[in-house]
Structure 1
Amino acid sequence: MREPSIKVEAITVVAGNVTIDLAAKNARISIEKSNTYTPPVYKGVGKPFMRELFTSKYVHGKDGMGDLNLPEPL
């Protein structure tokens, strides 16, 4: 198997479509589902600078992943 030419060193998330905690959780779920290696996940900004946080649960579901009911990340 060929070594990948790009290596993800870390993933950062910010609040937007979902809260910062949910964004971090979803990043960890996505990493686990990729079945490759586990880069660290870092939380960035938890809310917009100039207004209140408005999430998009009506589009992305309560879990931010279309309500797929995926298992909790390890």
Structure 2
Amino acid sequence: MKNMKLKVLLVLCALLLLSAFIAERKAPITIFMIGDSTMANKSLKNGNIERGWGQMLPGYFTEEVVVDNHAMNG
């Protein structure tokens, strides 16, 4: 009887350990942004060096986070 309990316990531990390595694919997190010119996407044409902070924000995240910037100049 003790032997059977030990086997069941080992199987349960093995299943628990295996479940830690099985990752479910989740939808990316989306950050929606609204604001003024300080965070807006700026045109890169004609050598414009101005950037809004919202334009630069995606560089600080992995592909698991999507930044949807709706900020506008003006």
Name the TM-score, length of structure 1 as normaliser.
0.22
- From the CA coordinates, give the structure whose radius of gyration is larger: 2
More helix by share: 2
